[in-house]
Amino acid sequence: MKPASITDYRALAKARLPHFLFEYIDGGSYDEVTLERNVADLRAIALRQRVLRDVSAIETSTELFGRRWALPVGLGPVGLAGIYARRGEVQAARAAGAAEIPFVLSTVSACSLAEVSAGAGVPWFQLYFVKDRGFVADLIARAREAKCGALVLTVDLAVPGSRYRDARAAGGGLKRWSQLLARPGWLWDVGIKGRPHSLGNLAPILGRTAPLSDFQAWIHANFDPSVGWKEVEWVRRQWPGPLVIKGVLDPEDARSALGCGAEGLVVSNHGGRQLDGVQSSARALPAIADAVAGKMKLLADGGVRSGLDVVRMLSLGADFVLLGRAWAYALAGGGQTGVAHILKLIEAEMRVAMALTGVTSIVQVNSSVIDRA
Ligand SMILES: Cc1cc2nc3c(=O)[nH]c(=O)nc-3n(C[C@H](O)[C@H](O)[C@H](O)COP(=O)(O)O)c2cc1C
């Protein structure tokens, strides 16, 4: 199959990855109600078709945190991407760099910040707060020394939500081996030639050879549920660059964030992987945009599967949109080329959506492009 959409890359990822790995990317928590809402609510937004408005010159670039990006789109933090394709974070970061958009490196990536910076250019860094404050301070220092363009502090993982699909696909010994042997292409390319399979940024506390199977157990044991706004201020004091709080879904939390010194928020429910049953990002976004009233930059993610969805998120009040599964599928299905391809697709789809809603620049993509009838 020649992939023509992000959905096609999902099918390729499914065919290429061992079952447990595809389930890890594709799944959400509990009954996946929020995961489905994210996709469905965004899709349900009807755009307004406008005609005869001279759309011969469309400009998709936008400014964020002192830099101009070719699209109002970034590759959001996705853990373990380095095992979806060989040294996957480096491949994805290269595709993002070539497309002139930001790449956000997860704390729990396979490739370390140093490996990605050397192989693809310095990414943004996503920070999870763990109980060992000395280690958090050390991660921030590494991001500061590398001169990462932004620090994205994820706050919606105080406790991990359960994912039924991971539990069902898990298993050691024969079960794991039968899943691996069913995907010989992945096994050779990533499983054997793509080593080491460790969490690069956590090597100082986990060791370089800690198996990835320890990953969930480590999260349960080490993520810190006691974190509050004073810890955000603590991070703020150590991080001089743009600080973004990821995982806000409620306008009251957004109002609280106004005083914390961060430059941006990501409206997100972690792709429906945390508290199932919460509102979709698309539904939550307009009230948060009202609460923030332009005082912070608003990023959003959740359910974005096309350039039309990017335009929809912007129309609801986002300044910038992060991709999650979209790029993970493309990386698993087609490596760096796959990620580069979906970014081209997104740009082309955005251009069509902008032309046919009658706008020519990103600032014009607002609630006026939505049909509220
Ligand atoms: C496989 C996977 C791993 C993820 N890992 C992280 C992570 O390490 N840090 C983080 O802040 N968010 C993580 N997320 C959440 C994404 O950054 C993003 O919020 C979510 O995927 C958006 O929803 P979407 O996938 O429907 O676009 C992960 C999401 C997926 C699907």
pLDDT at 303 exceeding the cut of 70 = yes
Helix axes 325-357, 88-98, angle to 10 degrees: 20
In the reported structure, the alpha carbon of residue 51 is separated from the centroid of ligand 1 by a whole-number distance in angstroms of: 37
For 4, the 3-state DSSP assignment is: coil
37-90 pLDDT, tens per residue?
999 999 999 999 999 999 999 999 999 999 999 999 999 999 999 999 999 999
pLDDT at 373 exceeding the cut of 80 = no
> Which residues, judged by CB distance below 6 Å to any ligand atom, belong to the binding site of ligand 1?
24-25, 38, 76-79, 106, 108, 126, 154, 246, 268, 270-271, 273, 301-304, 323-326, 328
User: Do the beta carbons of residue 368 and residue 44 sit within 8 Å?
Assistant: no
322-348 pLDDT, tens per residue?
999 999 999 999 999 999 999 999 999
Q: Which two tokens stand for residue 65?
A: 């945190």
Give me the domains of the chain, ranges plus CATH numbers: 6-369 (3.20.20.70)
Least confident range from 205-214, 288-297, 306-315: namely: 205-214
Confidence of residue 280 (pLDDT cuts 50, 70, 90): very high
Report percent pLDDT > 90 for the chain: 91
pLDDT at 9 exceeding the cut of 70 = yes
Nearest CA to ligand 1 atom 15: 270
User: Do the beta carbons of residue 300 and residue 72 sit within 8 Å?
Assistant: no
Q: If you average pLDDT over every residue of the chain, what do you get? A: 96
Sign of the C-alpha dihedral computed for residues 272, 273, 275 and 276 taken in this order: positive
Nearest CA to ligand 1 atom 17: 77
In the reported structure, the alpha carbon of residue 54 is separated from the centroid of ligand 1 by a whole-number distance in angstroms of: 38
In terms of C-beta density within 10 A (0-12 exposed, 13-18 middle, 19 or more buried), how is residue 216 classed?
middle
Nearest atom in ligand 1 to the alpha carbon of residue 270 is 19
pLDDT mean over 8-14: 98
Q: Is 19 a catalytic residue?
A: no
User: Do the beta carbons of residue 255 and residue 153 sit within 8 Å?
Assistant: no
Q: Which pLDDT value is given to residue 221?
A: 86
Q: Which of 34, 78, 227 to mutate to test the pocket of ligand 1 (most atoms within 8 A of CB)?
A: 78
CA 138 from chain centre, in angstroms, equals 23
In this structure, how many other beta carbons lie within 10 angstroms of the beta carbon of residue 137?
A: 13
Q: Which residue has the tokens 């933090």?
A: 77
User: In terms of DSSP bridges, do strands 67-69 and 62-64 run parallel, antiparallel, or are they unpaired?
Assistant: antiparallel
Maximum Cα–Cα distance across the chain: 63
pLDDT mean over 272-280: 98
E-strand ranges in the chain read 62-64, 67-69, 73-75, 104-105, 124-127, 151-154, 243-248, 264-267, 297-300, 320-323
pLDDT at 172 exceeding the cut of 80 = yes
Q: Which residue has the tokens 């508290």?
A: 275
Instruction: Fill in the amino acid letter for 204.
Output: P
pLDDT mean over 358-363: 98
Nearest CA to ligand 1 atom 1: 25
